[in-house]
Amino acid sequence: MKKEVLFALLAVTSSYSSLAAAEQNLTPVINAAGKTLEFDWPTIRVGTGEYDEGPTGVTVFHFQKRSLVAIDARGGGPGTVNSDYLRLGYEVPKLDAIVLSGGSWYGLESTTAVSTALKDDGLRDARWGNVALAVGSIIYDFGERRLNEVYPDKKLAQAAFRAARPGVFPLGAYGAGRMAKSGGYFNCNAHSGQGGAFKQIGELKIAAFTVVNAMGVITKRDGSIAACFREASWPKNLSAFDLADGTPDSRKPGWTGHALDEDQRANTTISLLVVNQKMSYAELNRLAVQVHTSMARGIQPFATEFDGDVLYAVSTGELEKKEGSTVTPVDIGVIAADVMWDAILASVPEQPAAPKANPRLKLSARELERYVGEYTFSEFARLRITTRDNKLFAQATGPRDVFALKRTAAIELQPVARNEFTVPSRYPLLVKFPAPGQVILNPGRWQQSGHRAP
């Protein structure tokens, strides 16, 4: 190979490496929260970290006392770290931390990062029996839901771990649930997140935490759907049963539905159940199976070929078994199943309302001209804004479509306000120009930012 060609290849490789490094040179947002679950359990510390640029995130559970753990995996695509070790059934408590993360398999870096943080911070070392044990699972939060490939990395996970605190768990689109969705099987594509619930009966404590990124719809106890961007033709009071009963037609556009009483192949629900009562590995394993099975009530359908559902069951062992006062494992399973359903419902954030175009708002050609240009979201997604006949148009020009803005043709952006526009569709889309040279799609927890080329 000629020297000039070799140098050229090295230069190209270097530029791509620099670009990749620059994309992940991001600032962690730690322990952001809106609505939270507050629970009394000092030995469980929770930390969350997020990259707004994704958006994506990670949630870390740090157990101050080493605990016993079992795992139950369902669905066709689980992504885990150290799961095989958990299945060996040792009765010795060794668990230090559980890490739930976005970023698909790239996000598994978060789990090993927490292990090394435990060592680097002097909490564990390399002696046999004192090596840090962190286990973890991921959700797929890429694809059509966002326009980049930012993932939770070592820096984000370690920052979340070191900021972990007791008794506070953010609900909704935070941590690992920052870009979660649900209901893709029926094209609901509702925003989801992480949920938690806590119950104490006497000295017994039970906590449930879950990140719902499910193919199925989140279902309330009365059978109604908790969140869904519905087809306009669907009856208002359509239930999860009605959707399942109408399959496969209910998955097709234009289905009108029948109410009895008036992103979508990469999905996962990752969950954690914690009890303070001392349990054997066999009891804990059966508890994991029982509660995981019960989750099919709150998510319908559950554990499909395209889900990667994983549940961890942990016993902190703080409550010793006592003759006559110990709650049986079966009873704990029944109680915990209901607590987990509460956690599933708590994962649902407030859904964005569809913007409404203002037909009376007329913008001048000069006003519209301010927004014209090519906007870049990532190497995969670009948007070209043009004007014609005093109207604004948008067309995706990169390798991928930009939500409802396709590569095939320019689509009119209808004005909502002087710097806000929409494209009417089943799924809300707001295009906002907050400053010269900047565009934001769907401002808020799930926004995507683009910048105009000079």
Arithmetic mean of pLDDT over the chain:
92
Indicate the pTM of the whole model.
Answer: 0.92
Of 134, 136, 72, 86, give the one whose Cα is nearest residue 107.
136
Band of pLDDT at residue 237, cut at 50, 70 and 90: confident
Higher pLDDT, 24 or 396: 396
pLDDT digits (tens, 9 = 90+) for 407-416: 999 999 999 9
The active-site residue, picked from 48, 56, 219, 268, is: 268
Convert the pLDDT of each residue in 198-216 to its tens digit. 999 999 999 999 999 999 9
286 and 415 housed in the same domain: no
Instruction: Say whether pLDDT at 36 is over 70.
Output: yes
The CA distance from 52 to 316, in Å, is: 33
Residue 3 belongs to a domain: no
pLDDT score of 377: 97
- Residue 166 scores a pLDDT above 50: yes
Average pLDDT over residues 321-341: 91
Boundary residue ending a domain (346, 381, 414): 346
The residue type at 104: S
Q: Domain containing 130 — which CATH number?
A: 3.60.70.12
pLDDT digits over 79-131, tens only? 999 999 999 999 999 999 999 999 999 999 999 999 999 999 999 999 999 99
400 shares a domain with 313? no
Q: How confident is the model at residue 325 (pLDDT cuts 50, 70, 90)?
A: confident
Mean pLDDT of 287-298: 98
3 state SS for 95-123: EEEEEEECCHHHHHHHHHHHHHHHHHCCC
Please determine, for residue 6, whether its predicted confidence score (pLDDT) is greater than 80.
Answer: no
282 and 386 inside one domain? no
441 and 401 assigned to the same domain = yes
Residues 279 and 392 in one domain: no
pLDDT of 8 = 41
Same domain flag for 228 and 296: yes
**CB 160 within 8 Å of CB 28:** yes
Question: Does the annotation mark 293 as catalytic?
Answer: no
Whether 311 and 410 share a structural domain: no
At 265, the pLDDT band (50, 70, 90 cuts) reads low
Domain that holds residue 419: 365-452
Distance, CA of 426 to CA of 421 (rounded, Å): 16
Same domain, 442 and 305: no
Distance between CA atoms of residues 360 and 6, nearest Å: 61
pLDDT higher than threshold 80 for residue 308: yes
- The verdict on 266 and 172 lying in the same domain is yes
**Domains: count for the chain:** 2
Indicate the pLDDT class of residue 75, thresholds 50, 70 and 90. confident
Q: Give helix 109-120 / helix 154-162 axis angle, nearest 10°.
A: 50
Among 290, 314, 346, identify where a domain stops.
Answer: 346
Maximum distance among all Cα pairs of the chain, rounded to whole angstroms: 83
Q: Are residues 120 and 180 in the same domain?
A: yes
pLDDT of residue 257: 73
